[in-house]
Homo-oligomer: A and B are copies of this chain.
Amino acid sequence: MRATPGRAGPLSLEALVSRLGGRIAGDAGKIVQQVGSLESAGADQIAFFSNPRYKAQLGDTRAGAVVVPPSAEGLTDLPRIVTDNPYAYFARLSQLFNPDRELRPGIHKDATVAEGARIASTAEIGAGAVISDRAVIGEGTIISAGCHIGEDVEIGAGCKLYPSVVVYHRCRIGARVTLHSGVVIGADGFGIAEEDGRWLKIPQVGRVIIGDDVEVGANTTIDRGAIDDTVLEEGVKLDNQIQIGHNCRIGAHTAMAGCVAVAGSAKIGRSCTIGAASLILGHLTIADEVHVSAATVISRSIRQKGTYTGMYPFDEHASWAKNTALVRHLSELADRVKSLEQRLHDKEKKNG
């Protein structure tokens, strides 16, 4: 949940801790008015430290205050807030100092709204947006300029659609969902059947169902189901340029980094993380709490939680060329090793 609109003024660490919890070390009266990074924050900004890899930056920072874990409390003399999860704390601080812009309820004169659409009175519809027949838009939801909402779509309360989002007919979107520009929800899944060397289209008559508190990054596409629905459960977070195929189900609170592709009918568990540019093949099942590293192809189901990786190592070009040529001859190499083992065994037997 985001802070109520209205930017927080300058606040002392004491005031921050009374709102957000944590413990102060050093000057509790220190006033800050914005968050910043260790690298570039100034004296009126508060930064955070959690990754020991950035210890040098903690030493050099010109931030006025810093959020640290108990283990790092002694690493700096700056006024500091001590908390077990500095990154989450920083998220709340940043929400406090950077609230969403205020809502401007109403339908822009240059929007096109079908007579049969039902728009909540506190919703905001931007210029050039098109809301089709029987679409329902919830309270406090922003449909920005140039969005297109198809027929019979339902969008819950408190959502934010940035400019140029398309939601195809009949899809359903929960509450507090954010869709960034260029997102396409509910385009046809890739369903084709071969017949005599040509492709017949399978009409895609399922929907996309998106739960509450989901966020979807720019230019990501989520296809409608072929017959049944494609489902994103609550709290799913997708980065940019992700492709979700038809009939997938993505479990609650799973997060995917940019450029991931999930082929049709994959079922992904809850609280998974999928690294950038990975590919999940179709019709697989992935357990809860599975972590897939970047650039990894998941080619069979994963039943056990854990971390799975399949990145091919890069190298200087010449080394790469020499080693990679051998990949194509690995089975011959293995045969040669086997033959050596046999010959040596024979020899040992003979010579004792």
Binding site for B on A (CB under 8 A): 2, 35-37, 39-41, 85, 87-88, 90-92, 94-95, 98, 108, 110, 112, 126-128, 130, 144-146, 148, 150, 162-164, 166, 168, 178, 180-182, 184, 187-188, 190-195, 197-203, 205, 215, 217-219, 221, 223, 226-228, 235, 237, 239-241, 243, 245, 253, 255, 257-259, 261, 263, 271, 276-277, 279, 281, 292-299, 306-317, 319-331, 333-334, 336-337, 340-341, 343-344, 347-348, 351
Contacts and interface: CB of A to CB of B under 8 A. Distances in A.
Nearest to A54: B283
Given A37-B227, A259-B259, A310-B313, 9 more contacts: A40-B228, A85-B194, A180-B187, A184-B219, A241-B241, A241-B243, A243-B258, A308-B316, A337-B337
Contact of A331 (B166, B311, B326): B326
Contacts of A261: 241, 258-259, 276-277
Given A110-B112, A315-B328, A330-B323, A276 B281 contact: yes
Contacts of A341: 336, 340
Contact of A310 (B112, B168, B299, B320): B320
Contacts of A313: 299, 310, 324-325, 327-328
Given A144-B148, A166-B164, A182-B219, A317 B312 contact: no
Contacts of A188: 178, 180, 217
A104 to B, nearest CB: 11
Given A164-B166, A308-B314, A315-B310, A241 B221 contact: yes
27 contacts: A2-B201, A37-B227, A88-B193, A90-B193, A94-B202, A95-B200, A95-B201, A146-B164, A181-B184, A182-B182, A190-B237, A190-B258, A199-B235, A201-B215, A221-B241, A239-B243, A241-B261, A276-B279, A276-B281, A295-B297, A307-B316, A308-B317, A309-B314, A309-B315, A340-B341, A343-B348, A347-B347
Contacts of A322: 331
A237 B182 contact: no
A333 B328 contact: no
Contacts of A130: 110, 126-128, 145-146, 163
B36 A227 contact: yes
The 3 A-B residue pairs whose C-beta atoms are closest, nearest first, are A310-B314, A148-B163, A187-B218
A308 B297 contact: no
Contact of A128 (B112, B223, B259, B348): B112
Given A218-B221, A243-B240, A343-B344, A168 B162 contact: yes
Contact of A192 (B108, B187, B255): B255
